[in-house]
Amino acid sequence: MWNMSLGDMIPGILVALVVIGIFCIVAFRISKKDNANLEAMLAAIPDEMKEALKSEPYQPMDNKGVMFTTRGIAAAIDDNEGKVKLHLIFYNQPRDEFYDQTAKMSSDELKAKGYKALDMIPCQMKYDKEMYIHEFKKLA
């Protein structure tokens, strides 16, 4: 294998470059689509609510390490045959940017909690110590 000449390795290198190129294009398109979805959701939220969200505190949970409670805005609610996707918008203060997360629940649970679009909904989040990496855990 190591005795191969450069000419023998070129087809393998080209195949690897094509695969990497396709992967990069797909990742870029998915990222672009996600950013467009976030921008569309943010456009539907009034500016005063965005400002309120920016000042929403992240309260540490006692004895839970990097777990925090906060509130997010319900930007969209998709109800599909009893299964609900609740699209929440949060604000990451250290990064100075909005981001979205999705919570799943049943239609009955949504009715019981009474959530509707543009409600501020309490949630539990997990962050690293520098508050950069976030992970939605559950609705509080």
Contact 89, 103 (CB under 8 A): no
| Number of neighbours of residue 87 by Cβ within 10 angstroms | 19
| Number of neighbours of residue 27 by Cβ within 10 angstroms | 10
Look at the chain and report how many structural domains it folds into.
2
Domain containing 73 — which CATH number? 2.40.50
Does one domain contain both 54 and 21? no
Does one domain contain both 90 and 109? yes
pTM: 0.68
Does one domain contain both 37 and 58? no
| Residue of 73, 69, 37, 35 lying closest to 52 (CA atoms) | 73
Q: What is the pLDDT along the chain (140 residues), one digit of tens a residue?
A: 567 776 777 888 888 888 888 888 877 776 666 666 878 888 888 999 999 988 888 787 777 667 788 888 998 888 888 899 888 898 887 778 888 888 888 888 888 988 888 999 888 888 766 656 566 677 76
